[in-house]
Amino acid sequence: MIGYVLQRTTVAFVLIWLVATSIFMVLHIIPGDPAELLLSQGGVSPDPAIVADLREQLGLNKPLPVQYSTYITKVLHGDLGVSLQDGYPIVDEVLVRLPRTLELILAAGLIAMAIGIPFGTLAAVRSGTPYDRIASTLASIAISVPVFVIGTLAVLVFAQILKLVPAGGFVAFSEDPVKHLTLLVMPASTIAIGLAGILFRITRNSVLEVLGREFIRVARAKGLARTRIIIAHALRNALVPIVTVLALQLGMLLGGTVLVEYVFNWPGLSGYLVRAVEARDYPEVMGIVLVISTIFVFLNLAVDLLYAVLDPRVGQSR
Amino acid sequence: MTSMLQSMPKPVKIRLAVVTGILLLALVVPLLPLADPIAMNVKQRLTEPGWGVWLGRDEYGRDILSRILWGARTSLAVAFTAAILSAIAGTFLGLLGGYFRGVVELVTVRSSEVLLCLPPMLLALLVVTLLGAGSGTLILCLSILFTPGYVRVVYAETLSVRMLDYVAAQESIGTHPARILLRTILPNVTAPLIVQFSLTVAAAMVLESGLSFLGLGVVPPAPSWGLMIRGARGTMDQAPLMLLWPCLALSFAIIALNSLCDALRDALDPKAHGNALSAGRSVAAKMSNRLLPGLFTARQEKIVLAVRDLSLRVTAAPHAPDLVRGISLDIAAGETVALVGESGSGKTMTGLALLGLLPKGVECTSGSILFTRRDGSVADLLSLDEAAMQAMRGDEISMVFQDPGGSLDPVYRVGQQVAEGIRAHRDVNAAVAKAQATDLLRAVGLPDPEQKAKAFPHELSGGQKQRAMIASAIANGPRLLIADEPTTALDVTIQAQIIELFGELKQRDPDMGMIFVTHNLALVAQIADRICVMYAGEIVESGPVAEVFAAPKHPYTAALIASVPEGENERLQAIPGAVPALKDFSSGCRFAPRCGLAQSDCDKHPDLRETGKDRSSRCFHWKEVA
């Protein structure tokens, strides 16, 4: 068990190191000089003096290994560099915006679980019935419709036409908790729709698969109540794939909230990223990508460790 | 190709037709009499829909219908190009990685897995940062994004195909690897590739429109659905409909692609799903709650179970012969009856029917199952509703199944699973149930029961698991224990121990009746008092074990006994042929086609007839059976 934890943790750290290194490499392998690329927007050739300045500022004149070790050392000290646009430390901005994005993802995840798992289980139990077919079709549609389409249409219907909620924006929880939550509802629900569809599907298929296993018949032969068999045995055994998919999807959302944050003016990490991409602010983009990737890797680590709790067979090398 | 299309199931065909329609439409767009999609006409901005401008004009006065149709072209062109490029790259890398393994595998497969560690949208934004927005970047970026998916699929398939004999055979005759890869392995990975391809096209469209929506994809003024939605958002308050059209077009296209993808996957990867939970209980039989008078006086002993004329059939085939026909069976308290037959004889189905656990698709058509409860009352199990049956299962009747490995839920401790059955029927708290469970585990001869109760199923050996299952089955002191081939999945030495355990259980609870389902006659001699031989869904002979073994009265029983290895010199006699499939059941004697004694009158169906005291046979010529 301890060996398993150690092994997974090591893999996670190696992955993060790989990501950090790849980011560094990408910056230096791409054809052309980053400083020149940055300054040559709009097809105008930049002033060589300014390029040289920027190269100095970015440390691009030093040998590659030196640059690499400087970069890694800085990252290890939690220094992601400063924005090229305003010289503001990237870490500070990330720390302000990250919680907002995490909140959005967490809210969406909870809503999606509350919908997807119970309805998916029911669909498995009633597989082949009209309920199953209708719910499965709805889930397919929910998965297919792009999130920004749902978001835009939600704004149109609920904000523009029905005027139930504001079209978007953000108010800190400490300032006005009610307003904060009101503003959270639409973006979180928008993300939750597609996520619920995915959870519905994996729950339905996994529970259906477990229901075909021998121990379900044994549980019936023991005279257990139907609901107990469904929840304590079928759903419980289906949890491993469900958790896997949920974690993977939540991880994907770390970058995937871009569109929703944009639609609803939610000032999260993704908006910051889009701004950085538009301005081609390399240090910012690299910093944000590194942070998101790190969270992603740790999320997967958490899932790996959760497996050992969910499935006693995991982590016991035999 | 045509034949491949024809062999496709209907759902695939319909969806394929829809997607092909969308593709064709996108192809012929330049030929249609449409307004120029990028010609601006600011004077007419936001014109309402009308004659000639069916969907109105956008914020720059451009024709919306024209832009939607041209937008389809843009989206599909980007998505298909990216999907094809990534398919080529991914297939190539996956094939190499899967075939050569080693360093090649590390470079191709593992490195592309690092890409999968990043959220796709993030990766896309990274590429856009480096290369700037535009259709070219978009295609490149999507191709990079989707390559790892192909690598993974092709790699996995290649690995499994590579293990096949004919690939090894080709290698051994020195065929060039490139030839093996192209001619042998590639055709085998086609099916998953097709699914992956349609998946990728849909995903590429979603990402393309998303990036364009952010203003980081297709560059204006080129028509793109993502860009149109972006534009229409600005004028939402004045022209809400303008927002609807590109949303609908995009959603429709993606739903069409995704649903084609699902249908393809179902067609190419058919997995029949059984559902053990919603087992069919008989409908017809529920009504037949009739007591047969005089039944319980027929024999001296106290009867626990009396099955009368039980028939089962496959619901989906109402005209096929019954799966199990006219089974009648008595079990007295303390008696062990062996139900014997080859696979397919219907013995397991009969056992499941007694518990009301028939699988979906099998139902009871006639008969009764009379059961004497602990309190002395008699109930027809077929007429009980599910709730009453549930109360009966695991309490008064319980069952031990064939595969101990699959019988235990892998995520619960063994003790919990035994205790669970106790608490389902007895009002005891968790601690008491747990203590009882440990006692039961000790009673079935598990070494160190306290520790075994805390163990998970995978920590037990096969024999130990079966002991735990037996503990669970006897937990509530059942009147009737059904054991369905309980030793078949076990080693021979373990088999003997489990049989011994059943013998001990009978001594401990002398009133418990037992049905022992098996195909192993050697076990029957050890454990059973009476034997019922089943063939093709019917009982063909029954009687006391010793008598039947000494002088079988049905040619099938005789053949079964002859096939048991005994002395060293004796030649083993296999029964020619096999149990017929349901649809091939003969209308006469079902064993006749394999029977050495078959005569012309065997084309009539024989009834079970008495051949002596407490003995019966379903053979016209039982007197001739040696």
Chain A within 8 Å of B122 (Cβ-Cβ)?
Answer: yes
* Predicted pLDDT of residue B529: 92
Indicate whether B104 pLDDT > 80.
no
- What CATH class is the domain A99-278? mainly alpha
- The Cα–Cα gap between B418 and B396 comes to 16
H/E element holding B417?
Answer: helix B414-425
Alpha-helical (H) ranges within B312-413 are 347-355, 386-392, 404-407
Chain B within 8 Å of A253 (Cβ-Cβ)?
Answer: yes
H/E element holding B549?
Answer: helix B545-550
Chain B within 8 Å of A289 (Cβ-Cβ)?
Answer: yes
pLDDT grade for B284, boundaries at 50, 70 and 90: very low
Average pLDDT score over residue span A45-52: 74
Q: Do A310 and B411 touch (CB under 8 A)?
A: yes
* Predicted pLDDT of residue B496: 87
In B315-427, which ranges are E strands? 324-332, 336-340, 362-372, 378-380, 397-400
Average pLDDT score over residue span A169-196: 92
Q: Do B119 and A252 touch (CB under 8 A)?
A: yes
- The Cα–Cα gap between B625 and B605 comes to 18
Q: Do B251 and A229 touch (CB under 8 A)?
A: no
Question: What is the dihedral angle through the alpha carbons of B594, B597, B601, B603, rounded to the nearest 10 degrees?
Answer: 0
For residue B58, give the 3-state DSSP assignment.
coil
For residue A59, give the 3-state DSSP assignment.
coil
Residues B586-593: contacts with CB under 8 Å, at least 24 apart: B589/B618, B589/B619, B589/B620, B590/B535, B590/B536, B590/B537, B590/B538, B591/B535, B591/B536, B591/B540, B591/B554, B591/B555, B591/B556, B591/B619
Q: Mutation test of the interface with chain A: which of B110, B111, B118, B360, choosing the one with the most A Cβ atoms within 10 A?
A: B118
Top-confidence residue, A4 or B417: B417
* Predicted pLDDT of residue B66: 86
Chain A within 8 Å of B14 (Cβ-Cβ)?
Answer: no
Q: Which two tokens stand for residue B168?
A: 């090894």
Q: Chain B: nearest CA to A68, how far in angstroms?
A: 19
Q: Which residues pair with B617 in a beta bridge?
A: B541, B609
**Beta carbons of A146 and B210 less than 8 angstroms apart:** yes
* Predicted pLDDT of residue B567: 54
* Predicted pLDDT of residue B87: 92
Q: Chain A: nearest CA to B617, how far in angstroms?
A: 32
Alpha-helical (H) ranges within chain A are 2-29, 34-39, 48-58, 64-76, 90-125, 130-144, 147-154, 177-211, 214-221, 226-228, 236-256, 258-263, 269-279, 282-310
**Beta carbons of A255 and A297 less than 8 angstroms apart:** no
Indicate whether A152 pLDDT > 80.
yes
Q: Do A313 and B274 touch (CB under 8 A)?
A: no
Indicate whether A28 pLDDT > 90.
no
**Beta carbons of B406 and B274 less than 8 angstroms apart:** no
- The Cα–Cα gap between B478 and B232 comes to 72
Q: Do A237 and B410 touch (CB under 8 A)?
A: yes
pLDDT grade for A40, boundaries at 50, 70 and 90: low
Top-confidence residue, A7 or B248: B248
Chain A within 8 Å of B212 (Cβ-Cβ)?
Answer: no
Q: Chain A: nearest CA to B407, how far in angstroms?
A: 4
Which residue does chain B place closest to A219, by CA atoms? B421
**Chain A partners within 8 Å of B115 (Cβ):** none
Please, which residues have CB within 8 angstroms of residue B160's CB and are 6 or more apart in sequence? none
Q: Do B277 and A18 touch (CB under 8 A)?
A: no
* Predicted pLDDT of residue B150: 87
Chain B within 8 Å of A154 (Cβ-Cβ)?
Answer: no
Average pLDDT score over residue span B61-81: 87
Lowest mean pLDDT of A28-37, A139-148, B414-423, B542-551, name the range.
A28-37
Indicate whether B262 pLDDT > 70.
yes
pLDDT grade for B295, boundaries at 50, 70 and 90: very low
pLDDT digits (tens, 9 = 90+) for B376-433: 888 899 988 889 999 999 999 999 998 888 899 999 999 999 999 999 999 999 999 9
* Predicted pLDDT of residue B289: 32
| Maximal CA-CA distance, chain B | 107
pLDDT grade for A31, boundaries at 50, 70 and 90: low
Q: Do A220 and B393 touch (CB under 8 A)?
A: yes
Chain B within 8 Å of A105 (Cβ-Cβ)?
Answer: no
Count Cα atoms within 13 angstroms, Cβ side, for A121: 20
Please, which residues have CB within 8 angstroms of residue B196's CB and are 6 or more apart in sequence? B87, B149, B150, B153
In chain A, domain spans: 2-76, 99-278
Top-confidence residue, A131 or B526: A131
- The Cα–Cα gap between B160 and B172 comes to 18
In this structure, which amino acid lies at residue B236?
M
Tally of CB atoms within 10 A around B377? 8
Q: What is the ipTM of this complex?
A: 0.81
Give Cα A234 distance to the centre of its chain: 28
H/E element holding B75?
Answer: helix B64-100
Instruction: Give the sheet arrangement for strand B378-380, strand by strand.
Output: B324-332, B303-314, B362-372, B378-380
* Predicted pLDDT of residue A161: 87
For residue B310, give the 3-state DSSP assignment.
strand
Q: Which two tokens stand for residue B347?
A: 């013995």
Indicate whether A7 pLDDT > 90.
no
Average pLDDT score over residue span A130-153: 93
Q: Do B118 and A296 touch (CB under 8 A)?
A: yes
Q: Which two tokens stand for residue A197?
A: 């569809």
- The Cα–Cα gap between A162 and A188 comes to 19
Decide the pairing of beta strands B609-612 and B615-617.
antiparallel
Chain A within 8 Å of B378 (Cβ-Cβ)?
Answer: no
- The Cα–Cα gap between B542 and B608 comes to 9
* Predicted pLDDT of residue B288: 32
Chain B within 8 Å of A156 (Cβ-Cβ)?
Answer: yes
Highest mean pLDDT among A216-220, B35-39, B237-241: A216-220
Query: What is the percentage of chain B residues whose pLDDT exceeds 90?
Result: 27
Alpha-helical (H) ranges within B269-407 are 284-287, 347-355, 386-392, 404-407
- What separation, in Å, do the N-terminal and C-terminal C-alpha atoms of chain B show? 61
pLDDT digits (tens, 9 = 90+) for B373-385: 888 888 899 988 8
Q: Which two tokens stand for residue B543?
A: 């009687």
**Beta carbons of B333 and B376 less than 8 angstroms apart:** no
**Chain A partners within 8 Å of B269 (Cβ):** none
Q: Do B240 and A229 touch (CB under 8 A)?
A: no
Lowest mean pLDDT of A71-85, A303-317, B568-582, name the range.
B568-582
Would you tell me which residues 168-197 of chain A have a C-beta closer than 8 angstroms to some C-beta of chain B?
Answer: none
Burial string for A284-315 (b: 16+ CB within 10 Å, else e) reads bbbbbbbbbbbbbbbbbbebbebbbebbbeeb
Top-confidence residue, B292 or A40: A40
Lowest mean pLDDT of A15-24, A263-272, B457-466, name the range.
A15-24
Chain A within 8 Å of B264 (Cβ-Cβ)?
Answer: no
* Predicted pLDDT of residue B34: 77
Would you tell me which residues 390-419 of chain B have a C-beta closer than 8 angstroms to some C-beta of chain A?
Answer: 390-395, 398-399, 401, 403, 406-411
The partner residue sitting opposite B277, judged by closest CB among A229, A262, A312, is A229
Q: Do A140 and B259 touch (CB under 8 A)?
A: yes
Q: Do A285 and B279 touch (CB under 8 A)?
A: no
Chain B within 8 Å of A255 (Cβ-Cβ)?
Answer: yes
Q: Mutation test of the interface with chain B: which of A218, A284, A309, choosing the one with the most B Cβ atoms within 10 A?
A: A218
Q: Which of B187, B204, B229 is nearest to B68 (CA)?
A: B229
Average pLDDT score over residue span B572-585: 75
Decide the pairing of beta strands B378-380 and B480-484.
unpaired
**Beta carbons of B326 and B310 less than 8 angstroms apart:** yes
**Beta carbons of A190 and A105 less than 8 angstroms apart:** no
- The Cα–Cα gap between A179 and B503 comes to 73
Average pLDDT of chain B is: 83
Q: Chain A: nearest CA to B454, how far in angstroms?
A: 12
* Predicted pLDDT of residue B566: 62
pLDDT digits (tens, 9 = 90+) for A114-140: 999 999 999 999 988 999 999 999 999
CB pairs under 8 A between A and B: 224
* Predicted pLDDT of residue B108: 74
- The Cα–Cα gap between B139 and B80 comes to 9
